[in-house]
Structure 1
Amino acid sequence: MTHTLSVLLCLGLCLGQRMRAQAETFPRPSLRAENSSLVPLGRSVTLRCQGSLEADDYRLEKCSARTKIMNAKPSGIEGKFHMPSVTDKDAGTHVCLYRHSSFWSERSDPLELVVTGLYDPPSLSALPSPKVTSGHKVTLQCQSETWFTMYALYKDGQRIAQDRALPHGRGIQAKFLIPAMNATHEGTYQCYTF
């Protein structure tokens, strides 16, 4: 009886180590939005989760409740999650993961999906001026009369910073300092409140 127990214990430990080692060899997936993670209300967006050729299924989760919101079958090395008409409920932080056999990969880095057009946009100004000499500083100031807690600053459709909204006059604002302008800072900036 002791020999049988030893064999079963060894088998269990070996299988456990094999399962752990197998789970650790899965490449971590990455999640991105086609075109941009800034999506106007009512428009469509496709989120792509790139994982492994060995993936059997992909899953998209919303981080606020760690709830599964969509499954997708693999298409090559990725799973595609299509949202035909985004609403405010689609906005938020998303992650993806994939399954191979009975093992799940770790979750991707988060992707923030921002749905625009729900509220009046804040104003964005460059201080002292939008024309800045290379090497000089500029402050990008987002301002709104609508009270939200955070501002996010985007450059060419990609989030580059976020900060808490502070009371100012009859509204709120956030300031983003670029200490020394150079060619990499050129582009189109937008700010959003949430």
Structure 2
Amino acid sequence: MSLHPTGLLGLVLLLGQTICAQEGTLPRPSISAEPDSVIPRGRPVTIVCRGPAGFKTFRLENEEDTNDFKDTRASSPLGPHQTEARFLIPAVSEGTATHYRCRYIKEHVWSEPSESLELVVTGVQTQGWASLCSTPWSFPQRPGCS
């Protein structure tokens, strides 16, 4: 049996796609925040990363500083096709208000990063007179300071 040239071309393309899929990049995980990505200062938030089943280590990264990250083991499988890892921030603050993303690892290769998640902290005082009065270098003659 001989293959027609277009049939042979189709077979070559199919095999090429299969090889690329096996050697390609890992699928992106998803990222979310519970209860929400907008949290009052001092309250807890959990950042949840989800990826394909079978992966045990996830990484949560600060998008602005990739040297600032935390690795954790997957906490639970979500059925036969998904795994999740949960990163608890016990009390959000100005320092935790940033953009996060997550990854997982397979055989020493990290997945593509997730989409970015912006954690917004509400109730953060701006530098007005009231907050300047509470600083150690404030002066009593400032309006509103006693």
TM-score (norm 2): 0.64
Tell me the equivalent position of 1:109: 115
**Cα drift, residue 19 of structure 1:** 9.6
More strand by share: 1
**Cα drift, residue 112 of structure 1:** 0.3
**Cα drift, residue 91 of structure 1:** 0.4
Bigger Rg, structure 1 or 2: 2
Cα deviation code 1:107-126 (max 9, x no counterpart): 00000000111126xxxxxx
For residues 19 and 79 of structure 1, do their structure 2 counterparts lie closer, same or farther at Cα, with a shift above 3 Å needed?
farther
Tell me the equivalent position of 1:126: none
Q: CA RMSD in A?
A: 2.1
Q: Distance in 1 between matches of 2:97 and 2:90?
A: 14
Map residues 93-172 of structure 1 onto 2, 5 A cutoff. 93-119=99-125
**Cα drift, residue 22 of structure 1:** 3.4
Q: Distance in 1 between matches of 2:34 and 2:94?
A: 19
Runs of 5+ unmatched residues, structure 2: 1-18, 78-82, 129-146
Q: Which runs of 4+ in 1 moved over 6 A?
A: none
For residues 72 and 23 of structure 1, do their structure 2 counterparts lie closer, same or farther at Cα, with a shift above 3 Å needed?
farther
For residues 23 and 103 of structure 1, do their structure 2 counterparts lie closer, same or farther at Cα, with a shift above 3 Å needed?
farther
Q: Distance in 2 between matches of 1:104 and 1:52?
A: 13
Higher RCO, 1 vs 2 (CA within 8 Å, ≥6 residues apart): 2
Q: Distance in 2 between matches of 1:19 and 1:99?
A: 19
The amino acid that maps onto 2:23 is Q
Runs of 5+ unmatched residues, structure 1: 1-17, 121-144, 146-194
For residues 101 and 56 of structure 1, do their structure 2 counterparts lie closer, same or farther at Cα, with a shift above 3 Å needed?
farther
Tell me the equivalent position of 1:22: 23
Q: Percent same amino acid at aligned positions?
A: 35
Q: Distance in 2 between matches of 1:68 and 1:21?
A: 31
Tell me the equivalent position of 1:35: 35
TM-score (norm 1): 0.49
